[in-house]
């Protein structure tokens, strides 16, 4: 009886457990639960849990803005890419060094064609390497973006109120400004040094046999006027450097404010001559075990300029090498083999150099550098008389990271992240004091593979005085098999990595559909305050102010002829041009002033003119001007290239060019 009693009870208990288990089992949840559909999709699409987590960490629903904005160089597309994080969607391509007709940039638009002419009006492309956001006290302020054109030695200014290029300056001394753009902590200057030294000013000829005597690698400090939003060439200066090949630079910050640090390679001063020597530059420029870190006191250089201790070369104030050395503006420090990246820690106390043919990060102490300078701890001078500070006297640490270390970024917890080109990996390691003490310092703590051949990497505010941590992006040079094939020219590959935890986690692969990005910077979106529509009708994006003289008022549209010049005062509003008929004679100069009368966000209008290579893009409230010679007779439709309403296709007109003689007809 008792036995049977317990058998039944235990039996019922087990039955109950099973019933209860069944009740909440996956199969039963199918009917009720909200979780299983997720598992169903994961199974159907063969997604691992990590995949699913990555999907949920990056997916950004409609109408939800991304938390961070990345400005990435567009490499040899000449453009800049604007990417939202964590969704990794490319939000905009900003045209900088190449005409871009969607934006109406330098395709008939008079003002932007003027901007692009800097450096020669025949130059229609650029090679953007290193974007630099404007800084206030060493942190991004969200006001301006600066980028370089390595191919032609130019620097551009982009205003982040409207995400448009405002200025391009051509360096009169150099080309190949790989070391650019980087800014000083309050955007006093944008610096630029050449990769491949050359005789200057540009256009100067000197045979390679005179390389050591006549070639030089000056670093230029372009003065930036924040209120004007422009570089001021007259207030800029350059410092002559030896003809080594200059790689990246970084500005000192906090304790090292006022200083700059530049890598160099080819301190062998080898020159190309493979047909005769049968030796490639790869070999001849990489013989020395040590190259030179350049330590530059730009504050002292600024003082030299104020004291008039410069020569003017092709309009640029140039501090000669001897003057710089004598004034303590320039020092060298040995650095291991063919370095690439140099990055200053958030507190300004460390200078991290990655030698691409050396497995270590070499970390210099700014304090030790200063002591070495004061105590004269030099091991000699280079052939140009520049004092060489002792390596051991300035070194803080050397950390073995892996093969092909290139660049370093920082987080908010005292860790450094370095890209390893040959290992195709990102390595996370700890800095020394004040971040980590004793044997916690200078330690590799994590490593994650990336696909493939990483160049730069970038973290949220990762090169400022206040890194935010959270995300890091690996800028990979090769994608090979990562994406659906699109021909022999493969996209690059950006990989988003979560760095909020101890272990790095890869979240997302973004193919780069145009250009080869080199460096990028990531800013908190809340720091950007762009116009979503221009503040008033008649706004001139170049002046960044209203321009009554060129604003066409509704009702005042007209066509005025003065001799052979026909001036058209035109307005655009959904979906009509006024006037919509332009009749001129062959050979007339035609000037069209166009005002977009719209006040609605996104109500941009275009103006395309057949066969005359004109496409304007005129945002709500914006003024634009096009000027051309009507040298082709015939009938040329013009129309709006931004779909603006249901009757957008009716937003059109005709340009009629009457031939000089009817015989031409």
Q: Which of 72, 73, 96, 99 binds a copy of itself (CB under 8 A)?
A: 99
Distances from the Cα of 635 to the Cα of 121, 604, 607, 628, 653, angstroms: 29, 26, 16, 16, 10
Region 139-198 residues binding a copy of itself, contact defined as CB under 8 A: 150-153, 160-164, 175-176, 178, 195-196, 198
Part of the chain binding a copy of itself (CB under 8 A), chosen from 61-69, 236-244, 318-326, 466-474: 61-69
Give the shortest CB-659-to-a copy of itself separation in angstroms: 5
Give the shortest CB-162-to-a copy of itself separation in angstroms: 4
Region 560-589 residues binding a copy of itself, contact defined as CB under 8 A: 575-581, 583
Going by C-alpha positions, the residue among 113, 98, 107 that lies closest to residue 614 is: 107
Distances from the Cα of 226 to the Cα of 130, 200, 377, 640, 664, angstroms: 20, 29, 39, 35, 54
Between residues 344 and 618, which has the closer beta carbon with respect to a copy of itself? Answer: 618
**Element containing residue 393 per DSSP (H, E):** helix 391-394
Contact 221, 230 (CB under 8 A): no
Q: Is the dihedral of CA 476, 480, 483, 485 positive or negative?
A: positive
C-alpha to C-alpha distance for 482 and 370, rounded to whole angstroms: 47
Residues in contact with 557: Cβ distance below 8 Å, sequence separation at least 6, in sequence order:
569, 570, 571, 578, 579
- 332-346: buried (b, 16+ CB within 10 Å) or exposed (e) per residue? bbbbbbbbbbbbbbb
Contact 396, 404 (CB under 8 A): no
Give the shortest CB-55-to-a copy of itself separation in angstroms: 3
Q: Which of 27, 122, 227, 374 binds a copy of itself (CB under 8 A)?
A: 122
Contact 405, 338 (CB under 8 A): no
Part of the chain binding a copy of itself (CB under 8 A), chosen from 13-21, 220-228, 290-298, 428-436: 13-21
- State yes or no: residue 546 binds a copy of itself (CB under 8 A): no
Contact 109, 123 (CB under 8 A): no
Part of the chain binding a copy of itself (CB under 8 A), chosen from 291-299, 390-398, 459-467, 635-643: 635-643
Region 524-543 residues binding a copy of itself, contact defined as CB under 8 A: 525, 528, 530-534
Going by C-alpha positions, the residue among 268, 37, 163 that lies closest to residue 529 is: 163
What is residue 391's three-state secondary structure? helix
- State yes or no: residue 19 binds a copy of itself (CB under 8 A): yes
Give the shortest CB-503-to-a copy of itself separation in angstroms: 14
Residues in contact with 505: Cβ distance below 8 Å, sequence separation at least 6, in sequence order:
50, 54, 448, 497, 498
Region 488-527 residues binding a copy of itself, contact defined as CB under 8 A: 488-491, 495, 506, 509-511, 513-516, 518, 525
- State yes or no: residue 37 binds a copy of itself (CB under 8 A): yes
Give the shortest CB-624-to-a copy of itself separation in angstroms: 12
Three-state secondary structure of 202-217? CCCCCCHHHHHHHCEC
Q: Which of 191, 286, 318, 354 binds a copy of itself (CB under 8 A)?
A: 286
Q: Does residue 181 have a cis bond before it (omega within 30 degrees)?
A: yes
Going by C-alpha positions, the residue among 201, 178, 220 that lies closest to residue 76 is: 178
Between residues 63 and 563, which has the closer beta carbon with respect to a copy of itself? Answer: 63
Rounded to the nearest 10 degrees, the angle between the axes of helix 36-44 and helix 49-58 is 110
The number of residues that bind a copy of itself (CB under 8 A) is 202
Q: Which of 2, 27, 31, 61 binds a copy of itself (CB under 8 A)?
A: 61
Strand-pairing partners, residue 71, are 82, 521
Part of the chain binding a copy of itself (CB under 8 A), chosen from 19-27, 217-225, 368-376, 393-401: 19-27
Between residues 305 and 640, which has the closer beta carbon with respect to a copy of itself? Answer: 640
Other CB atoms within a 10 A radius of the CB of residue 299 amount to 15
Going by C-alpha positions, the residue among 541, 619, 519 that lies closest to residue 158 is: 541
> In the stretch 587-626, what mask flags binding to a copy of itself with x, by CB under 8 A?
--------------xx-x-x-xxxx-x-x-x-xxxx----
Between residues 201 and 233, which has the closer beta carbon with respect to a copy of itself? Answer: 201
Distances from the Cα of 48 to the Cα of 482, 506, 664, angstroms: 17, 13, 71
C-alpha to C-alpha distance for 176 and 154, rounded to whole angstroms: 9
Region 406-425 residues binding a copy of itself, contact defined as CB under 8 A: 421-422
Part of the chain binding a copy of itself (CB under 8 A), chosen from 273-281, 298-306, 434-442, 542-550: 273-281
Give the shortest CB-525-to-a copy of itself separation in angstroms: 5
Between residues 62 and 312, which has the closer beta carbon with respect to a copy of itself? Answer: 62
Strands 132-136 and 139-149: antiparallel
Give the shortest CB-152-to-a copy of itself separation in angstroms: 6
- State yes or no: residue 93 binds a copy of itself (CB under 8 A): yes
Region 427-466 residues binding a copy of itself, contact defined as CB under 8 A: 451, 453, 455
Give the shortest CB-40-to-a copy of itself separation in angstroms: 9
- State yes or no: residue 242 binds a copy of itself (CB under 8 A): no
Give the shortest CB-367-to-a copy of itself separation in angstroms: 31
Between residues 320 and 451, which has the closer beta carbon with respect to a copy of itself? Answer: 451
Give the shortest CB-351-to-a copy of itself separation in angstroms: 20
Contact 338, 268 (CB under 8 A): no
Alpha helices in 565-653 (DSSP H): none
> In the stretch 316-345, what mask flags binding to a copy of itself with x, by CB under 8 A?
----------------------x-x-----
8-state DSSP, 502: S
Region 385-404 residues binding a copy of itself, contact defined as CB under 8 A: 404
Residues in contact with 397: Cβ distance below 8 Å, sequence separation at least 6, in sequence order:
363, 432, 441, 442
- 553-562: buried (b, 16+ CB within 10 Å) or exposed (e) per residue? eeeebebeee
Contact 132, 190 (CB under 8 A): yes
- State yes or no: residue 41 binds a copy of itself (CB under 8 A): yes
Part of the chain binding a copy of itself (CB under 8 A), chosen from 266-274, 302-310, 328-336, 373-381: 266-274
> In the stretch 199-228, what mask flags binding to a copy of itself with x, by CB under 8 A?
x--xxxxxxx------x-------------
Q: Which of 140, 146, 224, 245 binds a copy of itself (CB under 8 A)?
A: 245
Q: Which of 31, 35, 227, 374 binds a copy of itself (CB under 8 A)?
A: 35
- State yes or no: residue 292 binds a copy of itself (CB under 8 A): no
Q: Which of 30, 137, 228, 280 binds a copy of itself (CB under 8 A)?
A: 280
Q: Which of 225, 272, 392, 545 binds a copy of itself (CB under 8 A)?
A: 272
Give the shortest CB-388-to-a copy of itself separation in angstroms: 23
* Tokens of residue 1, six digits: 């009886």
Between residues 173 and 465, which has the closer beta carbon with respect to a copy of itself? Answer: 173
């Amino acid at each position: 009886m008792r036995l049977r009693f317990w058998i039944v009870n235990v039996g019922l208990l087990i039955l109950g457990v099973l019933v209860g288990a069944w009740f909440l089992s996956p199969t039963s949840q199918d009917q009720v639960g909200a979780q299983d559909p997720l598992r169903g999709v994961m199974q159907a699409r063969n997604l691992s849990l990590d995949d699913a987590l990555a999907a949920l960490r990056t997916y950004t629903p409609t109408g939800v803005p991304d938390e961070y904005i990345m400005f990435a160089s567009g490499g040899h597309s000449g453009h800049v890419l604007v990417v939202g994080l964590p969704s990794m969607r490319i939000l905009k391509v900003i045209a900088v060094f190449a005409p871009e007709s969607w934006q109406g940039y330098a395709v008939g638009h008079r003002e932007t064609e003027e901007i692009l002419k800097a450096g020669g009006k025949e130059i229609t492309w650029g090679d953007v390497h290193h974007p630099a956001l404007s800084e206030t006290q060493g942190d991004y302020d969200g006001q301006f973006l600066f980028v370089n054109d390595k191919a032609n030695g130019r620097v551009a200014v982009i205003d982040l109120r409207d995400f448009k290029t405002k200025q391009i300056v051509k360096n009169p001394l150099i080309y190949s400004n790989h070391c650019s753009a980087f800014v000083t902590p309050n955007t006093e200057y944008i610096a630029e040094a050449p990769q491949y030294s050359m005789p200057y000013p540009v256009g100067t000829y000197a045979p390679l046999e005179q390389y050591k005597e006549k070639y030089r690698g000056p670093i230029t400090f372009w003065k930036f006027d924040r209120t004007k939003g422009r570089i001021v060439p007259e207030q800029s200066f350059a410092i002559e450097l030896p003809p080594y090949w200059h790689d990246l630079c970084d500005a000192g910050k906090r304790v090292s404010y006022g200083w700059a640090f530049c890598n160099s390679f080819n301190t062998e001063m080898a020159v190309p001559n493979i047909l005769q020597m049968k030796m490639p530059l790869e070999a001849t420029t990489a013989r020395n075990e040590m190259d030179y870190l350049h330590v530059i006191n730009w504050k002292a250089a600024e003082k030299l300029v104020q004291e008039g201790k410069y020569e003017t070369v092709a309009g640029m104030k140039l501090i000669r090498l001897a003057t710089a050395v004598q004034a303590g503006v320039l020092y060298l420090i040995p650095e291991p083999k063919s370095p690439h990246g140099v990055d200053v820690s958030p507190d300004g106390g460390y200078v991290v150099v990655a030698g691409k043919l050396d497995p270590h990060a070499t970390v210099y102490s700014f304090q030790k550098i200063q002591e070495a300078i004061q105590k004269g701890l030099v091991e000699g001078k280079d052939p140009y008389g520049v004092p060489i500070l002792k390596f051991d006297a300035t070194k803080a640490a050397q950390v073995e990271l892996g093969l092909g270390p290139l660049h370093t970024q920082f987080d908010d917890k005292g860790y450094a992240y370095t890209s390893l080109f040959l290992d195709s990996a990102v390595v996370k390691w700890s800095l020394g004091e004040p971040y980590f003490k004793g044997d916690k310092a200078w330690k590799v703590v994590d490593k994650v593979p990336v696909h493939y051949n990483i160049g730069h990497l970038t973290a949220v505010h990762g090169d400022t005085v206040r890194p935010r941590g959270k995300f890091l992006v690996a800028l990979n040079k090769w994608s090979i098999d990562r994406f659906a094939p699109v021909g022999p020219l493969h996209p690059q590959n950006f990989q988003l990595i979560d760095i909020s935890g101890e272990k790095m986690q890869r979240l997302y692969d973004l193919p780069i559909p145009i250009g080869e990005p080199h460096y990028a910077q990531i800013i908190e979106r809340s720091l950007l305050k762009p116009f979503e529509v221009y503040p008033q009708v008649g706004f001139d994006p170049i002046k960044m102010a209203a321009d009554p003289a060129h604003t066409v008022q509704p009702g005042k549209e007209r066509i005025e002829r003065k001799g052979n010049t026909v001036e058209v005062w035109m307005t655009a509003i959904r979906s009509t041009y006024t006037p919509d008929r332009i009749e001129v004679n062959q050979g007339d100069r035609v000037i069209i002033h166009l005002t977009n009368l719209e006040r609605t966000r996104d109500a941009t209008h275009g103006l395309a003119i057949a066969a005359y290579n004109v496409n304007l893009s005129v945002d709500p409230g914006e003024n634009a001007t096009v000027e051309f010679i009507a040298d082709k007779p015939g009938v040329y439709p013009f129309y709006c290239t931004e779909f603006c309403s249901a009757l957008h296709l009716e937003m059109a007109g005709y340009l009629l060019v009457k031939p000089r003689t009817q015989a031409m007809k």
